[in-house]
Amino acid sequence: MALTDTRVKQLKHMGAANGEKYADGGGMYLHVTATGKYWRLSYRFAGKQKTLALGIYPDVALVKARERRADARTLLADGIDPGVAKREEKQNRANAAANTFEAVARDWLTKTANKRAAVTQAKVISWLEKDVFPFIGKLPVSTIRAKDVLDKVVRRMEARGIHESAHRILQICSQVFRYAVAIGLVERDVTVDLRGALVSVDKTNYAAITEPKQVGQLMRSIHSYGGHPTAVAALKLTPLVFVRPGELRAAEWAEIDLDAAEWRIPASKMKMKVEHLVPLSRQALEILRALQPLSGHGRYLFPSIRTGERCMSENTINAALRGMGYSKEVMTAHGFRAMARTIMDEVLGERPDLIEHQLAHTVKDPNGRAYNRTAHLPARMEMMQSWADYLDKLRIGAEVVPISRAKR
């Protein structure tokens, strides 16, 4: 006789050592013991008698238990052991719970770290920790839909007006999903469905001041800037070395040789994955020696104000420029590279290959082979000193040569 809701509710343990069993039909019964009421399904598979747990009453009501019985019998009809199917489903849920987006992303970051400069690795981690993990990090990567990425990540960033960063974050998420595809956690990269869904960003070159008179005013502003001492030092050093902003802020004292007047940036930090040598002018050495008592006891030349364990923020130089009244349309931290390249070439008449060497661009010899990192080092040292002296002349208001009068 089939069970009813009322009877199931009223049934009590009668004291039998192994409890009592009450059949509902189709192999399903309610097992009542001293500890509770359990739904079970008795079935045979491959000639063996087996039992499948269907849930615990009252969490699983009679109607729900019958649904689970029907599902199990459907599997049996298809030649599938419902007990095995249940264990596999449980394992899949456990795997999904373990393989959250954050777990997969951090695994991807570790596996691919050698493909990125250390400063880029730190930046990608920071972006993920700030704009992605808090919103989809705990979700199993296999359950995330394109709309989750759009609504929970991209739209939040666009609402803050950081459209270009939103595009970069989407690219990073795409790489994580492609890694998940490669290791068999998902079938496809869901972010491909978001093409055309983001606010478009106009690509522009980094703003830079390249007119000598304006550079002179910029240098005076830099030397009168009253920010934090390490930020001031970074700001003063930037035009003298014109490395990429990320390379400057991640500079370490172990890379600096004050006696040899050299800064050797390891390949792991460079965009082109080649060690870069920066000759240090007298002016650069003066800044570094003044900085040494402030940060020389630690790892970084320009440590974070909050914690010396990290380098300063990527926004420090740009924030200082804004504080001096230079908008992002006028001058950027990256713009010091364009400033140096333009004036060295068009005003000072320096050799283009030396300039490109110092910008850490690939330069090839007449046979088409890339020069090594120490190529033309004496000439580059002379060029860097001439550049520093020229910036000093601009700053103190000495006669300058306009670009239109440049001689080659």
pLDDT tens figures, 47-58: 999 999 999 999
Q: What is the arithmetic mean of pLDDT over 44-68?
A: 94
Any catalytic annotation for residue 337? yes
pTM comes to: 0.52
Distance CA(358)–CA(341), nearest Å, equals: 9
Q: What is the arithmetic mean of pLDDT over 372-401?
A: 83
What mean pLDDT is reported for the chain?
88
Q: Which residues of 320-354 are buried (b: 16+ CB within 10 A; e: fewer)?
A: bbeebebeeeebbbbbbbbbbbbbbbbbbebeebb
Q: What is the arithmetic mean of pLDDT over 14-29?
A: 93
Any catalytic annotation for residue 188? no
What's the pLDDT band for 405 if we cut at 50, 70, 90?
A: very low
Any catalytic annotation for residue 66? no
Angle of CA points 218, 221, 227, to nearest 5°:
130
Q: What is the arithmetic mean of pLDDT over 193-214?
A: 81
Q: What is the DSSP string of 333-370?
A: STHHHHHHHHHHHHTS---HHHHHHHTT---B-TTSPB
Contacts of 335 (CB under 8 A, 6+ apart): 206, 207, 208, 209
Which one of 271, 322, 376, 393 is the catalytic residue? 271
Any catalytic annotation for residue 68? no
Any catalytic annotation for residue 408? no
Q: What is the arithmetic mean of pLDDT over 107-127?
A: 86
Q: Are 8 and 20 in contact (CB under 8 A)?
A: no
Q: What is the arithmetic mean of pLDDT over 76-96?
A: 84
Most confident of 80-89, 90-99, 143-152: 143-152
Any catalytic annotation for residue 361? yes
Distance CA(186)–CA(261), nearest Å, equals: 52
Distance CA(186)–CA(346), nearest Å, equals: 54
- In order of start, what are the domains of the chain with their CATH numbers? 5-83 (3.30.160.390), 101-194 (1.10.150.130), 212-405 (1.10.443.10)
Which one of 37, 337, 380, 395 is the catalytic residue? 337
Which one of 371, 373, 376, 393 is the catalytic residue? 371
Which one of 66, 276, 334, 395 is the catalytic residue? 334
Which one of 66, 68, 244, 269 is the catalytic residue? 244
Q: Are 40 and 29 in contact (CB under 8 A)?
A: yes
Q: What is the arithmetic mean of pLDDT over 111-127?
A: 84
Residue 119 phi/psi, 5-degree rounding, is: -70, -35
Long-range contacts of 351-356 (CB under 8 A, 24+ apart): 351/379, 351/383, 354/379, 354/380, 354/383, 355/383
What's the pLDDT band for 271 if we cut at 50, 70, 90?
A: confident
Residue 234 phi/psi, 5-degree rounding, is: -65, -40
In the predicted model, is pLDDT for residue 406 greater than 50? no
What's the pLDDT band for 369 if we cut at 50, 70, 90?
A: low
Lowest mean pLDDT among 207-216, 303-312, 335-344: 303-312
